[in-house]
Amino acid sequence: MEIDTECTALVVTDPHVDYLSPDGVVWDLVGEQVEKNGVVKHLVALKEAAERAGVPVFYSPHYLGHEYGGWRHLNKIDKIMFERRMFDVSGKGAEFLPELAPGPETIVLSPHKALSGFWANDIEIQLRQRDIQTIILAGMAANLCVESHLRDAAENGFDVIVVKDATAGPGEASTEAAYVNYGFIASQVATTAEVVKALKAAARLHA
């Protein structure tokens, strides 16, 4: 794998307490897979490697606030979010996991309202303005926001490297289903170790 640091960005979806901590309101749904994949340590490793290589880091967050008050057409994940107050801005669950606190150069995008940021937040203009062509994609959840960001990024002409062990879904079946789809949609599916190695090599080339 070769990474061009001049046109690559790391995009992390929903690195929130509710998804990545035992204190989160959906830990019973995702916790087993998060721990099995080592998602937190892998996200930390990706973020640190990207920063060292000079690759911009973007967070695509999801928050539950008053603007959802009139929503009536809900899918299952919407219902879970509303019933459990997932990502509620008035609580701790919406905060970024402390290990993944944004650095001074981290670009925190406006929140996506559903699963993908490409129609609901500023992700595309932020990437295009920086001449980003390749997205390294990781975060939560594998079959929901990660897969939706992947699909829309691919449809909009971006090359996407999905980091399969830096994501997890609500259960093994959903995680594995997401992996199958990544294989058909992504430009490349890789592990954290492979991406970190490529970022280190790219950093040396541009040193």
* Reported pTM: 0.96
Q: What are the residue ranges spanned by the domains of the chain?
A: 8-205
Instruction: Supply the pLDDT for residue 147.
Output: 98
The pLDDT, as a whole number, for residue 1 is: 87
Q: Please list the rounded mean pLDDT of every run of 10 residues in the chain (207 residues).
A: 95 98 98 98 98 97 93 94 96 97 96 91 95 98 98 98 98 98 98 97 77
Specify the pLDDT at position 119: 85
Per-residue pLDDT, 206: 65
3-state secondary structure of 91: coil
In sequence order, which ranges of 2-129 are alpha helices (DSSP H)? 17-20, 27-37, 39-53, 76-84, 123-128
User: If one looks up domain 8-205 in CATH, what number appears?
Assistant: 3.40.50.850
